[in-house]
Structure 1
Amino acid sequence: MAEVFFWCAALALVHTYFFYPLSLFALEGMAQVFQNMRRMRSGGTVQASVPAGPLPSVSLVVAAYNEASCIEQKLQNSLALDYPADRFEVVIGSDGSTDGTDGLVQQCTDPRVRLSPAPRAGKTTVLNRCIPSAHGDIVLLSDANTMIDPDAVRKLVRHFEDPEVGAVCGKLRLYNPTKQDYEESAYWSYESLIKMYEGKRGSVVGANGGLYAIRRSLFTLLPPSTIVDDFVIPLRILESGYKVHYEETAVAHEETTEDYGKEFGRRARIAAGNFQSLRLVPGLLLPTAGFPAFAFWSHKLLRWCAPALMVAAFVANLFLLDSAFYQATLLGQTLFYALAYLGRAGVFKSGVAKRVSSVAYYFVTMNMAIAVGFWRFLRNSQRAAWDRTARVASSTTTT
């Protein structure tokens, strides 16, 4: 029985972190082969692209709570985006800001900017209010502290020429003003790669909250208690049968945090919201959903089970020490956790050892945050409204 537990846990972990990405790479490789075969059968001709139609109207919606330190920069960045002025608007949904955010938005004289203030109720309530009232056919969602590249909007909306596309996720680049290498960067690059290949299948599981676009007509009101709106909104669109693409050349930039305590709280909050989302997108749990269900189970559900799987693999391994093989697997697990501890302690100051130990530490703390988030989910103690993680240059908050 211990052996069964060990292998079930180990294979599940290996699948979600290694086999699933490899399956995405293999599927894309096969798709390229079939595409080349069809081109050869047709005489090697390349089908002419369909001329692009008129650009759709776009509404950039930003939920903001006490963003006085960055809202002016966000407005400047938004109004500088390369998109026709007569087809673009910026909606700032203020969630009961008390630091002068509303006044700063009102000082902007550009007619494309619109303020939608209301008492504090949480980001989900802001989106439920602002998205249906937006004028654009396409709604672009972003955070107040996220700066978008000028050409990103055009690159996102071009996907909507396909009527089967319901949402498009952009690429969020995280940066740290004081560190060139930091723990989250390696994992974020890995996650972005998975999203890119999921996008080739039209099945991106969740979006980067800093930059993604949806068809306004596909938005459905969220329960006010929804914690991770940027996860649930694209999943609902995917569940309804539309494609969710990923556009790696549509880039936005966001600063990471130096406060690891608050960052751990952010991850735990997201984890609680992830477990909450299961009842909001039940269709993706069924095999009848096809590849989106496979992606949801492989990329998300098994990841959320990783803390329990890690414990199960370690404990089961303790009952299998009569074999040299299992002695080696236990040693490997112990060394990994020891490496994570060394990463936390900062024993290695530079080089490969520092990077590897930092990634191990990040991986362990990430899964500890998932466990905490699951506990909060069970107790229903995670509120929807929250305070933004403080950044190096700012200590303000958002929803």
Structure 2
Amino acid sequence: MAEVFFWCAALLLAHTYFLYPLSLFVLDGVAQVVQNIRAMRGSDAAEDLVASRSPAPSVSLVVAAYNEASCIEQKLENSLAFDYPAERFEVLIGSDGSTDGTDEHVLRCQDERVRLSPAPRAGKTTVLNRCIPAARGDIVVLSDANTMIEPDAVQKLVRHFEDPEVGAVCGKLRLFNPTKKDYEESAYWSYESLIKLYEGRRGAVVGANGGLYAIRRTLFTQLPPSTIVDDFVIPLRILEKGYKVVYEEGAVAHEETTEDYGKEFGRRARIAAGNFQSLRMVPGLLLPTAGFPAFAFWSHKLLRWFAPALMGVALVANLFLLDSVFYRFTLLAQGLFYALAYLGKVGALKRGTAKRVASVAYYFVTMNLAIVVGFWRFLRNSQRAAWDRTARAS
């Protein structure tokens, strides 16, 4: 029985972190071969998106802001410089009871494309429930106040909506740290971005990043005010309705990470609590009748959320299997991995590949510890929906 538990846990962990991405690569390769065969036969093949001759759709950039006085002017300057027809673009800032002068900074902007929607503090979800229906654009681009978007990103997001089956488009968020080039999250973030790229080719990106994504305004449905991870639930609801959620790697935004690792751990735990909360909001994606989106949701998300439990099961089951040399080796490998994570925490390795590997191991372990904390908050219903801005080095 211990052997069964060990291998079930090990295979599920291997699936979510390695086999699922590999299956995406294989599916993409098969799709490419099929497309090439159709092209050789002269049949109609899917073509790359081209610029539409019809007028560009109207776009509203919606930004939920809470005490963002330090960056809101830069955000407005960045947003108004987009390479998009000015007459078909607006910026709607939803202030969530800001008390630091954020509203005054927005009101000082003389550009008529900028609107402010202030209200008492109630949480980001309430801001989005208020602002997205009030947006004038057919396409709503959602972003954070501290995220700076490249000038051509909106055009690259919007062109996907020429396909009526596309309901949402996720952009590429590049994280940077002004004081630490090779920070722990970089390798994992690159890995996640690669998975999103291949999921997008299947029309099933499982969740977006809040820094940059776009949706059809008519597909938005009001969220429960207690929703914690809106940027996860909104695209999933669109996916659940049968629309595609795609990924545009050319639509790039930049966001600074925090140096406060205590607050960063809290952010991850908050997201984890929201992930568990989201299960009741998208029940259709839990069913095999949803097809590939359900497979992606289970493989990319649900198994990740249960990874801490699977890691615990693998470790405990391994302790009952030490009569075998093979299982002594697997226990040693697990012990070395956690030891490496500890070295990454204390910074015992000063340079080179070993330091980077230890840092990634430490990030992986703390990420899963944050899931445990988030799950506990979810069970106790103690995670607030309202968010606090994260302090950054600059």
In the superposition, the TM-score normalised over structure 1's length comes to: 0.97
SS at 1:262 equivalent: helix
Matches within 5 A, 1:322-361: 322-361=323-362
Query: Residue in 2 aligned with 1:380?
Result: 381
Matches within 5 A, 1:249-260: 249-260=250-261
CA 1:252–1:340: 2 relative to 1, 3 Å: same
**Residues 148-204 of structure 1: CA distance to partner in whole angstroms, max 9, x if unpaired?**
000000000000000000000000000000011010000000000000000000000
* Cα distance in 1, alignment partners of residues 124 and 96 from structure 2: 7
* Cα distance in 1, alignment partners of residues 198 and 390 from structure 2: 29
CA 1:45–1:376: 2 relative to 1, 3 Å: closer
SS at 1:349 equivalent: coil
SS at 2:158 equivalent: helix
Letter of the 1:40 partner, please give it. Answer: M
Query: Residue in 1 aligned with 2:297?
Result: 296
Aligned length: 393
**Residues 70-124 of structure 1: CA distance to partner in whole angstroms, max 9, x if unpaired?**
0000000000011101000000000000000000100000000000000000000
Query: Residue in 1 aligned with 2:29?
Result: 29
* Cα distance in 1, alignment partners of residues 6 and 329 from structure 2: 13
- Shift in Å at residue 45 of structure 1? 9.5
Whether the 8 Å contact between 1:170 and 1:249 is mirrored in structure 2 is yes
Matches within 5 A, 1:98-117: 98-117=99-118
Whether the 8 Å contact between 1:59 and 1:139 is mirrored in structure 2 is yes
* Cα distance in 1, alignment partners of residues 384 and 48 from structure 2: 51
* Cα distance in 1, alignment partners of residues 43 and 254 from structure 2: 44
* Cα distance in 1, alignment partners of residues 49 and 68 from structure 2: 43
Report the aligned-residue RMSD: 1.3
**Residues 26-72 of structure 1: CA distance to partner in whole angstroms, max 9, x if unpaired?**
00000000011111111899969776122100000000010000000
- Shift in Å at residue 389 of structure 1? 1.8
CA 1:50–1:210: 2 relative to 1, 3 Å: closer
CA 1:247–1:50: 2 relative to 1, 3 Å: closer
Letter of the 1:351 partner, please give it. Answer: G
2:123 pairs with 1:135: no
* Cα distance in 2, alignment partners of residues 139 and 203 from structure 1: 19
Whether the 8 Å contact between 2:122 and 2:386 is mirrored in structure 1 is yes
* Cα distance in 2, alignment partners of residues 271 and 389 from structure 1: 17
Matches within 5 A, 1:194-233: 194-233=195-234
* Cα distance in 2, alignment partners of residues 268 and 133 from structure 1: 32
2:38 pairs with 1:38: yes
SS at 1:384 equivalent: coil
**Residues 255-305 of structure 1: CA distance to partner in whole angstroms, max 9, x if unpaired?**
001111000000000000000000000000000000000000000000000
Query: Residue in 2 aligned with 1:84?
Result: 85
CA 1:109–1:316: 2 relative to 1, 3 Å: same
* Cα distance in 2, alignment partners of residues 10 and 47 from structure 1: 41
CA 1:48–1:91: 2 relative to 1, 3 Å: closer
- Shift in Å at residue 378 of structure 1? 0.3
SS at 1:253 equivalent: strand
The share of aligned pairs that are identical, in percent, is 83
Query: Residue in 2 aligned with 1:126?
Result: 127
**Shift >2 Å, 4+ stretches:** 43-51
Query: Residue in 2 aligned with 1:13?
Result: 13
* Cα distance in 2, alignment partners of residues 304 and 129 from structure 1: 31
SS at 1:258 equivalent: coil
Structure 1: where are the runs of 5+ without partners? 394-399
Whether the 8 Å contact between 1:39 and 1:46 is mirrored in structure 2 is no
SS at 2:79 equivalent: helix
Structure 2: where are the runs of 5+ without partners? none
* Cα distance in 2, alignment partners of residues 18 and 130 from structure 1: 39
Query: Residue in 2 aligned with 1:397?
Result: none
